[in-house]
Amino acid sequence: MSERTCEGCRWWRYDMLYHGRPHGVCRRNPPVGGEFPEVRGDSMCGDWQDKTITPEQHERRELVQQFAVAIVAGDPEGDTMVHRVWQRAAELADYEGQV
């Protein structure tokens, strides 16, 4: 996984070097006043998404996390083994699109 800075984010686009640092624009949200916000490559924000994976892989990861939370929340005894939760969540995510 990439470092969680703008330079490693799918929404960031390189524009130029500014004072020796990568500088670009964030395309996460629509432009304001016709321009995308300018940000340095070493900046960070809460909307970061890994640019080394496809949008489909990202959606699958989120789905697996949601299933894992649901499995744990549905286990009143709390005796579900962690690795089994993630394994079952991944199986559910793979099956979800086939129904």
Cα–Cα distance for residue pair 84/67, rounded to 1 Å = 12
Structural domain count, the chain? 2
Query: Do 43 and 64 fall within a single domain?
Result: no
Identify which of 43, 64, 62, 1 has the alpha carbon closest to the alpha carbon of residue 11: 43
Structural domain ending residue among the three candidates 36, 51, 66: 51
Count the neighbouring beta carbons within 10 Å of the beta carbon of residue 43: 18
Q: First-to-last CA distance in the chain?
A: 31
Beta partners for 82? none
pLDDT at 61: 86
Query: Do 2 and 38 fall within a single domain?
Result: yes
Query: Do 45 and 59 fall within a single domain?
Result: no
pTM for the structure as a whole: 0.56
pLDDT at 25: 93
Query: Do 15 and 46 fall within a single domain?
Result: yes
pLDDT at 78: 63
Pick out the chain residues at pLDDT < 70: 1-2, 76-80, 96-99
Residue pair 26/12 in contact (Cβ under 8 Å)? The answer is yes
Distance of CA 33 to the CA centre of its chain: 27
